[in-house]
Every structure is written in structure tokens, then in C-alpha cells.
Structure 1
Amino acid sequence: MADQTGKSQKSIPPYVKAVAGSIGGVMEACCLQPIDVIKTRLQLDRSGAYKGIVHCGTTIVRTEGVRALWKGLTPFATHLTLKYALRMGSNAVLQSAFKDSNSGNLSNQGRFFAGFGAGVLEALVIVTPFEVVKIRLQQQRGLSHELLKYKGPVHCARLIIREEGILGLWAGAAPTVMRNGTNQAAMFSAKNAFDRLLWKKHEGDGKVLQPWQSMISGFLAGTAGPICTGPFDVVKTRLMAQSRSGGELKYKGMVHAIPTIYREEGLRALWKGLLPRLMRIPPGQAIMWAVADQVTGLYERKYIHNAPL
């Protein structure tokens, strides 16, 4: 089997990529959870209570304590672990399906659609229900545990199901699908392109990138998505945050939410939280790929090329 450069290429099993992604997800969650909390608070702020990233972070620490910056960590870490396992594994399966049956080549178009499919799958199966729980926990303000509506991830999920039905866990599914599908299509294509351009690395060639090389490629690959999908992310957060148990919903869905936000808050509101997303997603991709590339690279050397580790 050969890639588009004519070099020998053997496939890494999907389960190896799934394991590599899940390990990377744990590391990412622990390091970057505070940025995600700040992003969520900024996106939900319609009154101008927070003046920016620093003000938001310091306000949370002052009024709720340092631990509040890690609110929702359990669902966030679990969600990232499962999400990356599903993303990396399903992308590997889809890439195999899109390869030319005769040459074994994977076209750029095939890589793009494999990434989009992996993003759609993770959005429906993993991302939406976990982010609904995470956002409901993150939007709560206050120090007293007894006064909080949601006492923790499991209690939150149970309460949502009881008050809003099982579909309450899939609030905001449409913009989440659009966001994740577009993000992963761009990310997998860009990561492969940067690996080839910067480091002459081709999948299956047995070359193990240094962690810093993987971090650079992952960081660059993770930058474009947040800029392109900002409105989908804001709408997703607003839809997930509103409770169906509180009467009439402000936003009826993705198509209704986008013009409503634009009309009431202006065009810039559709990119609220962009800077913290850029502070979280590209570094998150850098951390994840630094771990994942080491796992898959070592597998390539030991089991595909039989090279000493």
C-alpha cells in the first residue's frame, strides 16, 4: 500500500488510535479546564458582567473560589476521553473506507470527509449530552453547594431527564454537529498537511515525531476551526444552557437563535468566547497530539517496521 508520495504505507489499527486519543484527552482536560469555564461564562453573559477573560477569571476566583475554575471537570474529562477515542477510532475506520481500493491512496477530499464524519459521530454520541451537563454545571454561580440546583454531573443528568425528558440531554445537537463536523474535517486535513510540510512525516512511515513537533502541528491545525465555527459554538452553548422546565424557551433552535442573537446583541456576539476558545482548543490539540503521536508512532515502529524503540 502506498500513499500519494509513493512511500510504503501501512495502516495503524483504529483501536490504537482510539487509545492514543483517549490518553491525550485526559491530559488536555486537566490542563485546560479553567479556560473552558471562562469561555462558557463569557458566552452566557448577556448583561456585560464580565469585562474580558482576565476579569472573568478573577471574578470567578474572588466570588466562588479557585476550585470553581474546575467546575464540570468530571464530565469534561470523561467527555474528552470518550470523544477522542471515538474521534480517532472512527476517523481511522472512515479513512480506510475512503481509500482507493486499487492504489490504497487517500485523497485530500477523502481525508476531509472522513474527518467530517468522525466529527458528526462524536457530536451525536458523546459531545452533546456531556456538554449539556458540563454547561449546566458551569453556569451556576455561588459558593453554597446546598443552594445550587445541580449538585454534580450525575444529579444534573438525572434532573434534566426528569424535568425535560431524555432529549433534554441533546439540546443544541444541530449546531454541535455543524461545529464538530467542520472542526474535525479541517483539523485532520490540516494536521496531516503540517506533518508532511514541516517534518516530512507520512502516516505509516515509522517516523516518530518529537513531542514538540507534534505540538506545533497540532496547535496550527487546531486554530482555524474556532474562527470558522464561532457562531455554531455560541448558539450551541445558549441552547444547552436554557432549561425546558422554566417555561417558554428564548431560543427555538439553531436557525432561530442566530438571527435573534445578531438582532439583540450585534454581530460580534456570535463570536463571544472566541479568544478563550483559541486559548483552549489549539493548546488542547497540541497536548493531545503530543501524546497521541507518541503512542501511534511507537506502535508503527514496533509492530509495523519492527524497529527498536
Structure 2
Amino acid sequence: MSKTAQDLIAGTAGGIAQVLVGQPFDIVKVRMQTAPKGTYRGMVDCAGGILKNEGPLAFYKGTLTPLLGIGVCVSIQFGAMEYSKRFFAKRNLESGIGGPHGILLTGPQLLVSGVFAGVANGVVSGPVEHIRIRLQTQSATKPEFGGPWDAIKKIYAKRGVAGIYKGQAVTLLREASGYAVYFWAYEKLMQREMATKRIARDQVNPGKAVLFGAAAGYVLWAVIYPIDMIKSRIQTDGFSPADGQKYTSTLDCVRKVWRAEGAGAFVRGLTPTLIRSPFANGATFLGFEMAQRVLHKLFHEESDAPF
């Protein structure tokens, strides 16, 4: 099995782990981001309202889309990231850059690799998150969509591909900036662990993958949360003025939210995100690293080559 195929499979494992752990927190975040100011007193009030009015299964509303879609998205993220890392590692090897425990990538190389992973991922994550957010925020008593496939069919019938990709520009901005720092933070922590203990990557304690993933998740959200809020607003907005459209562009959304709700709107829903982040991102990297180790053992001969 090729290294790229292994990366994609391991990334899928990480994505599934991320969704199962993080989905309940995510729906609370989205509801708080998109609700009018004053709707909820806080995270507990929002979560309590969902539980009381919609039942416990509501916390996994719209899960099928992210379970399939985010599995693919995280697969693409890691596949693109690992491909880019191998590209730079090969160049570093040819230049004689490295250490006793492997070819180390520089900070700029890791950032560029993360941007590449984010842009590649954004092509899929944009429509996946759009459909998920529509399902998460629709009325529980009079739902517009019967499920993810119904939502895709109805939006496509009325608005075409552009409707499915609503909010794509801000999604690409979020993914490129976010995954640049996300993977940079994780890889730097992993490199430090390997250098300090003089061990190979597959000898790093799995618990460290969880901790490093949790730390990388906090770095990610510190950079992208306001962008993510704008993305949520745009992806729950109407498709035209006749359809209740509030925002004509990303900048228009930023200006109107700032004027109407102030700076606080850009961090509304941050608490459930910060609670969710270490669990979801720790699970993502743990799933990826463990799947990589299993695949390496199963296809050891094919995996021996460094590139």
C-alpha cells in the first residue's frame, strides 16, 4: 500500500474519532453563534434548551453528514499534509538538513504544508459544513430538510452548485490560516518530543499525541474563531433578499455584525468550543497516529522507503 493511501486511511480514522467526540459540543457552538443576541444566557442554557425541547439525540443532529464528510475532510487534510511534508523532507535530505532522529521540517515549511492541507480540505469541508449547519439550526417543529441528502437536493434544485458552496470564500480563509498553525503546533511539539527523548515518531507515547493534539486545537481556535463565526452566519443566511438574505458578502457580514452586536459577537459560543477542542483534536491525532502505526505494521515492506 502506498504512503498516500495509508495517510488517507489514517486520516479517515482521525476524522471519525473527531466527529464522535466533538459533535455534541459543536451543535451548541453553532446554535450560540447563529442565534440573535440574548437568545441564550450561556452554554449551559443553550445545551439545556436543546435537551429539554429536542431530546438527547438532538446533540447528534446532522451527524451523518460530518461523519461521512469530515471523515473525508480529515483524510484529505492529513493526506495533503503528509504529502507536503514528504516533499519538503526530500528537499531537506538532498540539502543535508536533518537530525539523528529523522528529517526535520522548518517552521515555514510546516506552515506552508498546513496551508496546502487547509485549502485542499476546504474544497470538501465547505459544502459539508454548510449542510451540517443548516440541519443543526433548522426548526425542530417545522424542519425544512428531512436530512442531509434532502438538504443537498433541495438547495441544489433552487441554487445549483453555488448554493451548495455558500460561504466558500470565508471557509477557505478559515481553513488555510487555521490548519497552517494547527499542524505547525502539533508537528513542532512532536519534533521536540522526539529530539528530547531521542526516539522515533512511532515510539512517542500515544498519550502525548492526545496532549499535542489538544494544544494544537487551542492554537487553531485562537486564530480562526472569529472567522468561523462569520462563516456560520453566512452559511445560515438566506440565499437572496427574497429569501431573507442579510449579508451580501463576507465583509458586509463583518460590518453588520460589528455594528449590531459589537465585538462580543465574534467570540459568542467560544466556551463550548474550548471545552470541545482538547477532546476532539486529541482524539483526531490519536486516531491518526494509531492508525498509521497499525498500517505500517501491516504493510511494513511498502512503508520502509522514506518517501
* TM-score between the two structures when normalised by the length of structure 1: 0.87
What residue is the counterpart of 2:111 in the other structure?
112
Instruction: Determine which of 266, 272, 279 is the counterpart of 1:276.
Output: 272
The answer to whether the Cα contact below 8 Å between 1:164 and 1:243 also exists between their aligned partners in 2 is no
In the TM superposition, what are the counterparts of 1:10-25 in structure 2 within 5 Å?
A: 13-25=3-15
The answer to whether the Cα contact below 8 Å between 2:85 and 2:110 also exists between their aligned partners in 1 is yes
In the TM superposition, what are the counterparts of 1:187-226 in structure 2 within 5 Å?
A: 187-200=182-195, 205=200, 207-226=202-221
The answer to whether the Cα contact below 8 Å between 1:227 and 1:274 also exists between their aligned partners in 2 is no
What residue is the counterpart of 1:6 in the other structure?
none
What residue is the counterpart of 1:8 in the other structure?
none
What residue is the counterpart of 1:63 in the other structure?
53
Identity %: 24
In the TM superposition, what are the counterparts of 1:4-153 in structure 2 within 5 Å?
A: 13-99=3-89, 100=91, 102-103=94-95, 105=97, 106-123=105-122, 125-142=123-140, 144=141, 147-153=142-148
The answer to whether the Cα contact below 8 Å between 2:181 and 2:219 also exists between their aligned partners in 1 is yes
Displacement of 1:300 after TM fit? Answer: 4.9
The answer to whether the Cα contact below 8 Å between 1:119 and 1:184 also exists between their aligned partners in 2 is yes
Displacement of 1:122 after TM fit? Answer: 0.7
Quick one: distance in 2 between partners of 1:94 and 1:199? 20
Displacement of 1:22 after TM fit? Answer: 0.5
Seen in structure 2, the aligned counterparts of structure 1 residues 231 and 242 have a Cα distance that, compared at 3 Å, is same
The answer to whether the Cα contact below 8 Å between 2:238 and 2:244 also exists between their aligned partners in 1 is no
For residues 208-260 of structure 1, give each alpha carbon's deviation from its aligned partner in whole angstroms, at most 9, with x where no partner exists: 33321110111111111112111210110011011215435211111111121
For residues 6-30 of structure 1, give each alpha carbon's deviation from its aligned partner in whole angstroms, at most 9, with x where no partner exists: xxxxxx8222121111012112211
Displacement of 1:283 after TM fit? Answer: 1.9
Is 1:295 equivalent to 2:291 in the alignment?
Answer: yes
Question: Which range is displaced more, 251-260 or 206-215?
Answer: 206-215
Quick one: distance in 1 between partners of 2:146 and 2:196? 47
Determine helix, strand or coil for the equivalent of 1:37: helix
Provide structure 1 residue ranges, at least 5 long, that are not aligned to the other structure: 1-11
Displacement of 1:175 after TM fit? Answer: 1.4
Determine helix, strand or coil for the equivalent of 1:288: helix
Is 1:160 equivalent to 2:155 in the alignment?
Answer: yes
What is the root-mean-square deviation in Å for CA atoms of aligned residues? 2.3
Question: Which range is displaced more, 152-161 or 236-245?
Answer: 236-245
For residues 156-196 of structure 1, give each alpha carbon's deviation from its aligned partner in whole angstroms, at most 9, with x where no partner exists: 01111112222111111111111111111111111111112
Q: How many residues align?
A: 291
The answer to whether the Cα contact below 8 Å between 1:44 and 1:238 also exists between their aligned partners in 2 is yes
Quick one: distance in 2 between partners of 1:197 and 1:90? 23
Provide structure 2 residue ranges, at least 5 long, that are not aligned to the other structure: 98-104
* TM-score between the two structures when normalised by the length of structure 2: 0.88
